[in-house]
Amino acid sequence: MTRTGRRRALPSLDCAVPRAAGLVRNCCLYEMGRAGARARHYTAPMKPARATPPILLTPPATAAELANAADLPFGMQSVCRTLAETDATLHRFAWLGDHLAVAEWTRDTEIAETAYDQPGHHTLSCYLAGGYRTERHKLPGRYGAPSRLCALPGDHESRWWVRGKMHFMHLYFLPEHFSRRAVRELDREPRELGLADRTYFEDPRMAELCRSLLLESWDDVDGRLRANETAHDVLSLLMRDQSAVRAGMPRTGGLSPAVRRRLRDYIEARLAQPITLGELADLAALSEYHFSRMFRVSFGSPPHAWIAEQRLARARSLLRGTALPLAQVAAQCGYANAAHFSHRFRDAHGVAPTAFRQAMRRA
């Protein structure tokens, strides 16, 4: 086993794109932090991994803009350099809104030692495959496995032995998420409930939600909203799971008429834009956890499904009453492009938008 200090570029991975991903410092676990984070690798020869270009989502910016933006979260400016020093492969990445981000990673190495020092953000990691021989120093004999989770607070320090193949996902979030949830969901003082440092714990429901994040289309406005809701559900589970004091029963009576009107108006005015669960919950002065459940009581479906139906309703109205090209209809309803809109419309109604428009004109 030899120590290698040279920097290695990931094959077929443009350095400008991971700069936008900005999330994992030396890539295996809980990394993407400040410039002070450190990693030491003792890497045996290995076969280079094939890299899939990661997805760059909102906020849109050029690589130069991202490199020079001082206010970007998660230490994004240093990602090119840190990714070049590791054998991990970033497959997908997305900002989900509400300062939440998700990434999918793989790693294949014979053996490597990696150290992390106060990354400055919280991370939840869920192993999807492999990881059977990866362990944390000071916890000998405890190894990773599919569906095992790690919760790493922003101020944690850790060292890891990484061996073999791993496929894992990360959910990144700021300490402020836990502070706000402590107050709004559990009626606790933020200082009483920080994220606990936990290694390889098991929670079937949380692992299932983490895996479901990867099934969503992150470059799709509806899929990203569903992923945003799922991420909030994961964080609520994480907080409640580690809390020794249970909160009172959540409110179940639904939203007031005034709040429902406010939400309808807000959503209607922003159907052409991405909408997140967090901004809707703020509008109702509720936690995401309580808002999601009260919304379902009041509107009969979860937020993402109700908003998707409002987009389709607007699309039907535009197809019936205007001669706008499909690309403009798609844009006004929040779809990425005409093809994406056509796919969604056909799935919902069993007919293409053009055929629907022609049928309405003949009626």
| Residue ranges covered by each domain of the chain | 16-228, 249-300, 317-362
pLDDT value at residue 60: 34
Beta strands in the chain (DSSP E): 89-97, 100-117, 122-130, 135-136, 148-152, 157-173, 198-202
Secondary structure of residue 237 in the 3-state scheme: helix
The answer, as to whether pTM is greater than 0.75, is no
pLDDT at 45 over 50: no
Secondary structure of residue 127 in the 3-state scheme: strand
Tell me the pLDDT tens digit for each residue of 139-196. Answer: 878 899 999 999 988 888 888 888 889 999 999 888 777 777 776 677 665 656 778 8
**C-beta atoms surrounding 199 within 10 Å:** 19
pLDDT value at residue 74: 54
Tell me the pLDDT tens digit for each residue of 269-312. Answer: 999 999 999 899 999 888 888 888 889 888 888 999 899 999 99
pLDDT at 55 over 90: no
pLDDT at 250 over 60: no
Between 23 and 134, where is the model more confident? 134
Identify the top-confidence range among 2-6, 176-180, 195-199, 243-247: 195-199
pLDDT (average), residues 320-329? 92
pLDDT value at residue 330: 92
**pLDDT over 70 for what percent of the chain?**
70
pLDDT (average), residues 343-356? 89
Tell me the pLDDT tens digit for each residue of 77-134. Answer: 333 343 345 677 888 888 888 888 888 888 888 887 777 777 778 889 999 999 999 8
**C-beta atoms surrounding 238 within 10 Å:** 24
- Rounded Cα–Cα distance for residues 230 and 362 (Å): 42
pLDDT value at residue 124: 93
What tokens appear for 284 in the block?
A: 């109702």
Identify the top-confidence range among 62-76, 116-130, 221-235: 221-235
pLDDT at 231 over 70: yes
- Rounded Cα–Cα distance for residues 149 and 124 (Å): 7
Top CATH class, 16-228: mainly beta
pLDDT at 349 over 80: yes
Name the least confident of 113-127, 256-270, 348-362. Answer: 113-127
Where does residue 245 fall: left (phi above 0), alpha (psi -120 to 50 degrees), or beta otherwise? beta
Name the least confident of 69-83, 252-266, 298-312. Answer: 69-83
pLDDT value at residue 327: 93
pLDDT value at residue 67: 38
**pLDDT over 90 for what percent of the chain?**
29
Residue 56 confidence class, pLDDT cut points 50, 70, 90: very low
